[in-house]
Amino acid sequence: MRRLAILSVPLALSATLAAQTPRPGQPEAILIKAGRLIDGRSDAPQPSVGILVEGERIKTVGALAQVQGQSKAARVVDLSQLVVLPGLIDTHTHLLLQGDPTAESYEQQLLQQSTAYRAILGARNARIALEHGFTALRDLETEGAMYADVDIKRAVANAEIPGPRIFAATRAMAPTGMYPIVSANWELELPHGVQPVDGVDQARLAVREQVAHGADWIKYYSDRRYYFGPPPDSVLHSWVNFTDEEAKAIVDEAHRLGRRVAAHAIGSDGIAAALRAGVNTIEHGDGFTDSLLDVAAARGVYWVPTVTVALYVAAPRGGVWGPIPAAQKRAFQHALKKGVKIVLGTDVGGFPWTEVNQAKEFEYYVQYGMTPMQAIKSGTSLAAELLGQPDLGAVAPGMYADLVAVSGDPLKDITELERVKFVMKGGVVYLPP
Ligand SMILES: [Zn+2]
């Protein structure tokens, strides 16, 4: 099924690309007839909407009859039987990873696959994400594949391969010995999944290097070695990787260079350290306590829960990973009550791109207590806010024409988002209706 879908795309894609090449100096106009529109910002859908797209942007959104009158020369894309939404955004992905439920699966990729081979799979993953309706990704580190995410981003931007808009974090950082691969044999120098960083000077240097090589975001690993405190504590704890001085140096240097910072933080100790350092986003955040949620809410720090991966690795990893999803679900429900900004991120790559549609994350958020509309906003307008991209995440005049459509009502059945029937990015149709 998956193979067929992938094979069928190149023909459709080349045909639509050819059909949509605008004449020089004259961007093509497309009138989209939307049966219903969920625009990513409003609390209710609007019936029978016209969306006029000119070139790569949306020009007009309004009542169909009205917009139709203004756009007689436009080519029509008829989505009158469908529900149109903004393109979906996943704020935690790994294009260069093909699932790493166990240490063996991770080491196999870093030791047996060249960066070139991994980048080819990354290009395939970019296409899968776009087919699934994800028109933008924040790719949160290459796991040893250096700056290959920036290369995939460039190939997409140059229209060499189909893919979402990519916001790349490049290599990420952890101190020496605190991230795989660490070998028991001291005679072997094995590849590292991150850039090893020790001390404040190296921290600043690493940020400067990564930004120089194209990093849009800086990511570091705040913690490791997760464990639950004995009852009555029962808090998910962790060992903190960087000293406060090192973590603050990373964040300060990134902010000085106009980059935001994402911290991997699973246990409460790692989350607390990341919040002290002033990061912009907490990744995973399974061990969020009420007091840490209060800090995140007060400071407007985003939480990217990556529920899909937590559930995917719980059984194969065993041990502490087993009870982590239940702890995270509790924290998620408290976060909703406290008004923490929860943004959709899946950690796809931590589970195979070819196995699970990353849009499954929406389903978990609804199961955990979000309304379907809240879940949709977490993966559209709120995700664009996290990215600092005011032209993404909503269907409104002036925004990039990144759109998807589904056949059923996602406000009644959120799993509709796992079956998108139409994908447009920047005014180009990648999946025709
Ligand atoms: Zn990740």
d(CA 411, CA 377): 12
- The upper half-sphere exposure of residue 315, i.e. CA atoms within 13 Å in the direction of its Cβ, equals 4
Distance 92 CA to ligand 1 centre (A): 6
How far away, in angstroms, is 350 Cα from ligand 1 center? 6
Cα-to-centroid distance, 148 and ligand 1 (Å): 16
Q: Kindly state the tokens that stand for 294.
A: 């209060």
Burial code (b: 16+ CB inside 10 Å, e: under 16) for 165-200 equals bbbbbbbbbbbeebbbeeeeeeeeeeebbbbbbbeb
State pTM to two decimals. 0.94
Q: How far apart are the CA of 347 and the centre of ligand 1, in A?
A: 5
CA distance 329 to 60: 40
Task: Give Rg (Cα) of the chain.
Answer: 22
C-beta atoms surrounding 352 within 10 Å = 16
pLDDT, residue 25, reads: 64
Q: How far is the CA of 177 from the centre of ligand 1 (A)?
A: 19
Q: How far does the centroid of ligand 1 lie from the alpha carbon of residue 266, in Å? A: 11
Cα of 269 vs centre of ligand 1, distance in Å, is 18
Cα 231 to ligand 1 centroid, rounded to whole Å: 29
Task: State the distance from the centre of ligand 1 to the C-alpha of 256, rounded, in angstroms.
Answer: 25
User: How many angstroms separate the CA atoms of 143 and 108, rounded?
Assistant: 12
Whole-number Å distance, alpha carbon 309 to ligand 1 midpoint, is 9
CB 204 within 8 A of CB 245: no
pLDDT of residue 11: 40
Per-residue pLDDT of the chain (433 residues; tens, 9 = 90+): 343 343 334 444 444 444 444 456 678 899 999 999 999 999 999 999 999 999 999 999 999 999 999 888 999 999 999 999 999 999 999 999 999 889 999 999 999 999 999 999 999 999 999 999 999 999 999 999 999 999 999 999 999 999 999 999 999 999 999 999 998 899 998 999 999 999 999 999 999 999 999 999 999 999 999 999 988 888 999 999 999 999 999 999 999 999 999 999 999 999 999 999 999 999 999 999 999 999 999 999 999 999 999 999 999 999 999 999 999 999 999 999 999 999 999 999 999 999 999 999 999 999 999 999 999 999 999 999 999 999 999 999 999 999 999 999 999 999 999 999 999 999 999 999 9
Domains along the sequence of the chain with CATH: 2-87+393-431 (2.30.40.10), 88-387 (3.20.20.140)
Ligand 1 geometric centre to CA of 263 (Å):
10
pLDDT for 256 = 98
CA of 405 to the centre of ligand 1 (A): 28
